[in-house]
Amino acid sequence: MHIAVLTMFPEYFRSPLDTSLVEKARRLEHLTVEVVDLRAYGTGPHRQLDDAPFGGGAGMVMAPGPLAEALDPLEGTHRVLLTPAGRPLDQATLDRLAEFESLTLVCGRYEGVDERIAEHFIDEEISIGDYVLLGGEVAALVIIEGVVRLLPGVVGNPASIANESFRDGLLEEPQYTRPAEFRGLKVPEVLLSGNHQKVAEWRQRQRLRRTMQRRPDLAADFPDSEDDD
């Protein structure tokens, strides 16, 4: 997969792209990332990228010219604008984005981008949550991490992806590891039993319980579950 990131702050991506599984994916050539500095397309001596909004109002708007010039050479790619006004990001969206051979992530700033860019140069708009950040750089990194871990050969055990939160509409169950007792706190006995069927049943009950407690909006399509240790 090739991902291009259009940003006013290319330095924002230096460390994250050289860390953990993202670095592994790049090293193994499962992924290439091109960080495009929008300042190179700015106008005037100060490489300006923004202007005052028509109709007045606070803040500035990213001008269409520099963005269009940066996007023009990027053909055959799926173009995503990161904006609070976009569709909420979820696991199904990450699964879909991972199928593209080429993605372009446009990091919005200020009060947003000129709507003509959003309407005619962008394939979809995505938001990572109902809040406002300084810009789309954090959102771009969220998408890069979420997509990269789905690429074949990146995650060591593919089963860990298949059995995680949101895959069946539920949150993942609690996890435990050694030692079996830590400072007087014990691991549930069923996990030590060696009975795979009982372990599977316990995990499913825990998924239902946790989802109902923490994300009742997700649990609406599932039957009630009694508390179970």
- Give the tens place of pLDDT for each residue, 76-99: 999 999 999 999 999 999 999 999
Q: How confident is the model at residue 180 (pLDDT cuts 50, 70, 90)?
A: very high
Q: What is the pLDDT of residue 161?
A: 74
Q: What residue ranges define each of the domains in the chain, with the CATH number in brackets?
A: 2-148 (3.40.1280.10), 163-221 (1.10.1270.20)
**Phi, psi torsion values for 183, nearest 5 degrees:** 50, 40
Q: Which of 38-42, 178-182, 221-225 has the lowest mean pLDDT?
A: 221-225
Indicate the average pLDDT of the chain: 93
The widest CA-to-CA distance across the chain, in whole angstroms, is 71
190 and 181 in contact (C-beta within 8 Å)?
no
Q: What is the pLDDT of residue 220?
A: 75
Q: What is the pLDDT of residue 168?
A: 77
Q: How confident is the model at residue 218 (pLDDT cuts 50, 70, 90)?
A: confident
Q: Indicate the pTM of the whole model.
A: 0.89
Q: State the Cα–Cα distance between residues 125 and 121, nearest whole angstrom.
A: 11
Contacts of 2 (CB under 8 A, 6+ apart): 31, 32, 33, 34, 77, 101, 102, 103
Rounded average pLDDT over 11-28: 96
Is residue 60's pLDDT more than 90? yes
At 81 the three-state DSSP class reads strand
Q: How confident is the model at residue 165 (pLDDT cuts 50, 70, 90)?
A: low
Q: Where are the alpha helices (DSSP H) in the chain?
A: 14-17, 20-27, 64-71, 91-97, 115-120, 137-148, 159-162, 196-214
Dihedral sign from CA coordinates of 195, 198, 201, 207: negative
